[in-house]
Amino acid sequence: MKRRDFIKTSMVLSVLGARLPLMALGKSKQNIRRKTGTWDSDRILVLIKMDGGNDGLNTVIPVYDNLYHQKRPTLAFNANQALMVNEDSGFHPQMAPLVPIFQNGEMGIIHGVGYPQGNLSHFRSSDIWVTGSPADEIWSSGWLGRLFQNEYPNFPDGAPEHPIAIQFNSANLLEFQSVQTNFATMLFDPEIMYYIVNENYVPGSNDPPLETYGGDELNFVRELDLTTLEYSEEIYGAGQDGDLTVEYPNNNLGEQLAVTAKLISGGLMTPIYRLNIGGFDTHAGQGGEHPPLLNQMSNAISAFLQDLKNQGLDDRVMVVTTSEFGRRVEENGSNGTDHGTSGPIFTFGTTTVGNVFGSQPSLSNLDYNENLMVEHDFRQVYTTLIEDWFGLDPTVSQAVFQETFETIPFVANPLSVSGSPAVPEAFTLYPAFPNPFNPATNIRFELPHSSKVTIQIFDIKGREVRTHRLGKVSAGLHDFRLDCRDLSSGVYHIQVETAGSVQSQRVTLLK
């Protein structure tokens, strides 16, 4: 059930009047909640799920790839239609609000995200993404469920006062499911939820339940009753205290983001919000179905980012979009595309590194099913969020995925385990990766304090071939994507200069 449906059919609020009084409730706390857990950071992750499998090739468009035009005679966009953002890619024409955001370095694009042995069954693939399992195993708990089980093993004992995660639809989601319980709180509207929950709450009786299976289930319902009651109060309070400084678009995602912004602004400490926008399963008539969704998404996200900036909340929030798979390269006979494998993930905010990670997928070098190859495992993205964004120990992400995955440097200020951003001692230049490379490589460097940075490329004869002036860059870890498509193969020197210090290294471009 979506919030819109309920508002459309509900007369409840009008019965109540415009403003709800805070009810004084005598509730008996049957469990003592102590704040424990190692979750230190106050950072917030907003996950937006694009339901159905977003078509990455028509989102970040490889306009100069001839194969793209050949294989999509009716669906392809050319360089005049796409909104060009760099030398090889353009955004879908409906994504105009996101162009300045990308150009400001507040949007990251991670190409080719998927997993090996892509499963084309709709729910198998969804399940793999939300459980974080290898493709040939079936896990019944979600990655966030395991993460929170790790943090709060005796949930609800030891749980914080705020909801651990908030989602905006009423079905239990596998990603928050652990073996014991589900860690998400479903919400459609803070005020309506508060009213309904409180009007209908009666305390359970005081006897301990029987030691039978029936007793177990009774315990479960009692706990749910109690946590729902407490969370509804927290949420209501934050909703009353919060502000919105922009006008959100009047669509499904806009509404969800508006409630999210209000709660963050009102001081709710919930670290994860899970939103969704559906309709991406464009098997037919994609030309009519895909654009309004991208339009909705772009307008809603840009409003949200602006609101956060206005309220000074942007340094704590990152928005990440995911989808359960990409779509096939070749269009089908119904002017649509069928289920594919990998696709791009987008990260938004002043907290992300505004780079392109990886490159446009090859349309000639496809897998055995004629689908796009995978460049990044989606678990790398999740691992990065766990380690770099929330600053948890690598042993935690290891425990969640049963494997170690290499992080992708899209978090601008990675937290260290102690919870505060690590301030480097001195200017450091890390080894570029990949190396040798074609066509792009990533240059990573650390600054002890903010200063101007210039990157220069010299060829083997010492001639300067390129200069990038980055201007003033903040302290901390940074990544710069160096695209050398226009250069010829060979060895080059990369020189990074800042505040009087120079460091350099050799890289090899191998075309």
**Cβ closest to other proteins, residue 66 vs residue 121:** 121
CA–CA distance, 124 with 138 (Å, rounded to integer)? 9
> Applying CB under 8 A, which of residues 25, 138, 499, 510 lies at the interface with other proteins?
138
Q: According to the binding rule CB under 8 A, does residue 28 interact with other proteins?
A: no
Q: Which is nearer to other proteins, 225 or 483 (CB)?
A: 225
CA distance linking residue 255 with residue 217, whole number of Å: 35
283 part of the interface to other proteins, by CB under 8 A? no
Determine the interface stretch with other proteins among 221-229, 317-325, 356-364, 487-495 (rule: CB under 8 A): 221-229
* Closer residue to other proteins in complex, CB, 212/418: 212
Residue 315: DSSP 8-state: G
Residue 139 binds to other proteins (criterion: CB under 8 A): no
Q: Which of 216, 241, 243, 393 binds other proteins (CB under 8 A)?
A: 216
Tokens 């459980």 identify what position?
131
186 lies in the binding site for other proteins (CB under 8 A): yes
CB of residue 5 vs other proteins: minimum separation in angstroms?
7
Q: Is 368 in the site for other proteins (CB under 8 A)?
A: no
Write down the least CB distance from residue 192 to other proteins, Å: 10
Q: Does 141 bind other proteins (CB under 8 A)?
A: no
What is the Cα 270 distance to its own chain's centre? 15
Residue from 7, 10, 134, 279 in contact with other proteins (CB under 8 A): 10
DSSP string, 400-435: HHSS-----S-BSS-B-TTSSBPPPSS-EEPPPBSS
- DSSP lists the bridge partners of residue 483 as 440
Please choose, out of 59-67, 189-197, 358-366, 463-471, the segment that lies near other proteins by the rule CB under 8 A.
Answer: 189-197
* Cα–Cα distance, 282 to 290 (Å, whole number): 7
Bridge partners, 356 (sequence order): 109
CA distance 320 to 380: 13
Which of 139-167 are b and which e, b meaning 16 or more Cβ less than 10 Å from the residue's Cβ?
bebbbbbbbbbbbbeebbebbbebbbbbb
Q: How far is the CB of 501 from other proteins (least distance, A)?
A: 54
Closest CA to 159 of 58, 34, 260, 39: 34
Count of alpha carbons within 13 angstroms of residue 352, beta-carbon side: 33
Total residues contacting other proteins (rule CB under 8 A)? 50
In which residue are the tokens 């003592």 written?
A: 32
CA-based R_g, the chain, Å: 24
Write down the least CB distance from residue 71 to other proteins, Å: 20
H helices present in 142-189, as ranges: 143-151
Give yes or no for a cis peptide into 153 (omega within 30° of 0).
Answer: no
210 binds other proteins (CB under 8 A): yes
Query: With binding defined as CB under 8 A, does residue 179 bind other proteins?
Result: no
Binding map of other proteins across residues 107-126, x = CB under 8 A, - = no contact: --------------xxx---
State which residue, 9 or 364, has the beta carbon closest to other proteins.
9
Q: Which stretch binds other proteins (CB under 8 A): 184-192, 387-395, 452-460, 492-500?
A: 184-192
Stretch that binds other proteins, among 181-189, 333-341, 364-372, 492-500 (CB under 8 A): 181-189
- Rounded to 10 deg, the angle between the 394-401 and 143-151 helix axes is 130
CA–CA separation, 291 and 345 (whole Å): 18
Q: Would you count residue 11 as binding other proteins (CB under 8 A)?
A: yes
Enumerate binding residues for other proteins (CB under 8 A).
1, 5-6, 9-12, 14-15, 121-123, 138, 170-172, 182, 184-188, 193, 196-197, 199-202, 204-207, 210, 212-218, 220-222, 224-225, 227-228, 231-232
